[in-house]
Amino acid sequence: MARVYNFSAGPSMLPYSVLEKAKNELPEYSLTGQSVMEMSHRSKEYLGIIESCERKFRALLGIDNNYSVLFLQGGAWTQFAMIPMNLMTVNGKADFILSGNWAEKAYTEASRFGTASIVASSKQDNYKYIPKIDTSYLDINADYMHICLNNTIYGTAFSDVPESVVPLVADASSMILSRRLDISKFGIVYAGAQKNMGIAGLVVVVIRKDLLERSADDLPMMFSYKVQNESSSMFNTPPTYSIYIMSLMLDWIMDEVGGLENMSERNNEKAYILYDYLDESKLFKGTVAKDSRSLMNICFITGNENLDKQFCFEAEKSGMPNLAGHRLVGGIRASIYNAMPVEGVRKLRDFMKAFEKEHA
């Protein structure tokens, strides 16, 4: 069967050349006579892989030495708890901006560890836009402020990083490496790898080094940023193969795409192929405010639930699976992360046009 254009929200598609490279190296990596899957994580060869992965990640995002990069497990979900466990330790409180379901989960998990306050929210309007932040609500004594940069389920994104006097903590799971991000504005940026930079099993945490001092000594070892940092993400066996695939993804962004600027331009182009069409279509309508549009997850509806379902069904038959919206919101969602080629998006747009003609 021919490969499809997979519009899944995550895990999501990988570039074909990354899969080919992984396939060629699967039984024998370099001249080691073994697969990466079989390697000791402490071997010289594997240390080469994880160190090069970190080096390339730092280079692409311009991360300086004030920050540590940790390769952890448990997905973004575990970070929802690990962040308050480690950081909510000065005044026992933190501020949260609710811009979607994942932001809400981060808030709920944090409230198990201290006082979590909602300082802005668009929940009352079904998260159709990024809420405006009234800085007079922000607590200067909060231990940190948490935001979710791209709201995967609703299809909205922050266009600018909000100002914050306390350390800003950001869930970047569904936008990491899709465009530039000024890491120096953040205390922590974390992201699961399975959307924009690889496969499941790996979550990357970028943390400003002074914040490592907040981790209490009596934390369970695996949940301490300080312990993880001191052991260079090797406190226990790290997700070795997921880190290897991330390293291949970084090579792809650097060598084939030509860097983060090009990646960003390509992602803009892809998103606007769909948004431009949505703006003129008489059948399909975007579901979020224009100034809050995500470049990664594009959500739309026909206004008729059965027609939405028929659309997803027929698109799948044409080699474009996983277009159904998240179960919380329904409708249609095209997730077009880094690995989705421009041709895949054009094919979807042309398919939408034909569907519109047929159902006008």
Ligand X SMILES: *Cc1c(COP(=O)(O)O)cnc(C)c1O
State the residue number with the nearest CB to ligand X.
Answer: 75
Cβ at position 109, least distance to ligand X in Å: 11
Of the candidates 10, 321, 330, 341, which one interacts with ligand X according to CB under 6 A?
10
Catalytic residue, from 143, 171, 270, 308: name it: 171
Is-catalytic flag, 252?
A: no
Is-catalytic flag, 195?
A: yes
Contact window for ligand X (CB under 6 A) among 130-138, 171-179, 258-266, 352-360 = 171-179
Of the candidates 171, 214, 244, 351, which one interacts with ligand X according to CB under 6 A?
171
Angle at 103 between CA 97 and CA 106, to 5 degrees: 105
Binding of ligand X at residue 223 (CB under 6 A)?
A: no
Binding of ligand X at residue 196 (CB under 6 A)?
A: no
Contact window for ligand X (CB under 6 A) among 69-77, 277-285, 305-313, 337-345 = 69-77
Mark residues 122-161: x for contact with ligand X by CB under 6 A, - for none. --------------------------x---x---------
Cβ at position 30, least distance to ligand X in Å: 29
Catalytic residue, from 93, 95, 143, 195: name it: 195
Of the candidates 75, 239, 325, 344, which one interacts with ligand X according to CB under 6 A?
75
Active site residues: 102, 171, 195
Q: List contacts with ligand X (CB under 6 A).
A: 10, 75-77, 102, 148, 152, 171, 173-174, 192, 195
